[in-house]
Amino acid sequence: MRNAQITGIGHYLPERVITNFDLEKIMDTSNEWIVGRTGIRTRRWVQHGDTLSGLAYNAANKALAMAGKTAEDIQLILFASMASDHAFPGGGCFLQDKLQIPGVPAMDIRNACSGFLYGLSVADQFIKTGKYDTVLLVGAEIQSTSLDLTTRGRDVSVIFGDGAGAAVITATDNSDKGILTTHLHADGRYANKLWADAPSVNDHPPLTKELLDTDRIFPKMEGRFVFKHAVEKFPEVINEALQTTGLGIGDLDLIIPHQANLRITEAITHQLKIAGEKVFSNIERYGNTTAASIPIAISEAVDQGLIKKDSLVCLASFGSGFTWASAIIRW
Ligand code: COA
């Protein structure tokens, strides 16, 4: 049977490093609070001149180089992001323009922290059915420019970072390799537990000068509610993937959870009764990069030799929507 396999992976982070001490200077927070509640010490935030499609382009080129492909080989672009360079069209088209491959379909996926895994599942289906042989999947986010950088928004602002990760996914005739299973879920009842209320097309007009003075334009999160659901859904969706494939937790070489918060990762590790070194974490350096976090983590795990030929890796996510998802891949 034909399978889909990640044959190239790459990541790119903006150069500007923001420490918790930098945040202490602009809002009422402390390094101690941030490290204790989230595990985050630094994150990358864009500076003037950086663009969303630019971050994505740099990550995509690294993934293409690893796969031994060029942009001309891409038959479908999947662009997972909460954002776009402009209000519309979606970011996939701006990335496609940078890659100089007019005519190739560019599809946007807006499922926040689960965006990369939603995209992985879409790529898997298109490849398994024989429609495409080579798909570029990118997770990219610029979140720093939309945050409330005052004390009012501190619970959210200290968590999020910018970055991009990309995967080149190609067809293989080896059914033991590649994406073995994917599982996607959503529960829109809780959409307003982690969201930005405005600007909204339901307002007439969506943008007013008064709106800009309110906090409705900033991301909001009911932190404890999100935490409670995350620590329940992560293990549930990982177990779903294990049951489908008939694998046990001990068969996995590595789990890469979406880098939401170190305390969430630690809770998953505890609940699944798996050794800490088998659960990847880089949130200390990059914060939560939403759709970019899983591909950045895969890319770093490959660079560090934690993922090698035939490694069995479980990917899992939870985030705004709520959405949650998992996949098991054999590298
Ligand atoms: N610095 C200092 N104090 C802060 C702060 C910050 N950055 N953010 C919030 N606080 C304060 C609150 O105002 C509150 O003060 P009060 O007791 O005087 O009212 C206190 O810290 C505790 O706030 P609370 O929201 O109860 O903290 P918490 O223990 O729930 O931790 C989170 C907050 C956000 C770290 C935690 O809820 C969490 O990890 N949630 C999940 C977040 C997540 O992973 N989201 C991404 C999902 S993809």
Minimum CA distance residue for ligand 1 atom 22: 155
How do residues 315-326 score in pLDDT, each as one tens digit? Answer: 999 999 999 999
Final residue of a domain: which of 176, 209, 229?
176
Whether the predicted pLDDT of 250 surpasses 90: yes
**Considering its fold, how many domains does the chain have in total?**
2
Ligand 1 atom showing the smallest separation from residue 29 Cα:
1
Is 16:70 a contact under the CB 8 Å cutoff? no
Q: Is 161 in the pocket of ligand 1 (CB under 6 A)?
A: no
- The domain of 304 spans 179-330
For 47-69, what is the mean pLDDT? 98
Same domain, 149 and 203: no
DSSP code of 108? E
**Any catalytic annotation for residue 288?**
yes
Mean pLDDT, residues 69-89: 97
| Mean per-residue pLDDT, 20-43 | 98
Separation in Å, CA 297 to CA 22, 73, 301 = 25, 25, 6
Tell me which of 20, 113, 183, 314 is the catalytic residue: 113
Say whether both 104 and 246 belong to one domain.
no
Residues 167, 185 within the same domain:
no
Does one domain contain both 189 and 170?
A: no
Could you tell me if 27 and 159 lie in one domain?
yes
pLDDT at 135: 98
Average pLDDT value for residue range 82-102: 97
Q: CA-CA distance, 121 to 184, in Å (whole number)?
A: 8
Provide the pLDDT for residue 93: 98
Are residues 134 and 274 located together in one domain of the fold? no
Examine the domain organization and report whether 14 and 152 are in the same domain: yes
Question: Is 56 in the same domain as 134?
Answer: yes
Q: Tens of pLDDT along 163-218?
A: 999 999 999 999 999 999 999 999 999 999 999 999 999 999 999 999 999 999 99
Judgement on whether residues 150 and 190 belong to the same structural domain of the protein: no
Indicate whether 221 and 171 sit together in one domain.
Answer: no
From 21, 151, 155, mutation site for ligand 1 pocket: most ligand atoms within 8 A of C-beta: 155
Cβ proximity of 176 and 5 under 8 Å: no
H or E stretch at 317: strand 312-319
Shared domain for 128 and 71, answered yes or no, is: yes
Asked if residue 89 has a cis previous peptide bond (ω within 30° of 0), the answer is yes
Cβ–ligand 1 contact at 261 (below 6 Å): yes
pLDDT confidence of 64, banded at 50, 70, 90?
very high
Q: Taking Cα atoms as reference points, which of 185, 140, 159, 153 lies closest to residue 296? A: 140
Tens digits of residue pLDDT in 260-270 = 999 999 999 99
How far CA 32 is from CA of 19, 29, 197, 260, in Å, comes to 12, 9, 30, 18
- The CATH number of the domain where 306 resides is what? 3.40.47.10
Question: Is the pLDDT confidence value at 329 over 90?
Answer: yes
The Cα 281–Cα 284 span in angstroms is 8
Q: Say which residues have a Cβ less than 8 Å from residue 328's Cβ, sequence separation at least 6.
A: 179, 180, 181, 241, 242, 245, 247, 252, 312, 313, 314, 315
Residue 1: predicted pLDDT? 83
- Per-residue pLDDT, averaged over 266-290, amounts to 97
Look over the chain and give the mean of its residue pLDDT values, rounded to a whole number: 97
- Are 91 and 33 within one domain? yes
* Mean local confidence (pLDDT), 68-94: 97
Taking only the tens place, the pLDDT of each residue in 207-229 is 999 999 999 999 999 999 999 99
Would the pLDDT of 136 be above 90?
Answer: yes
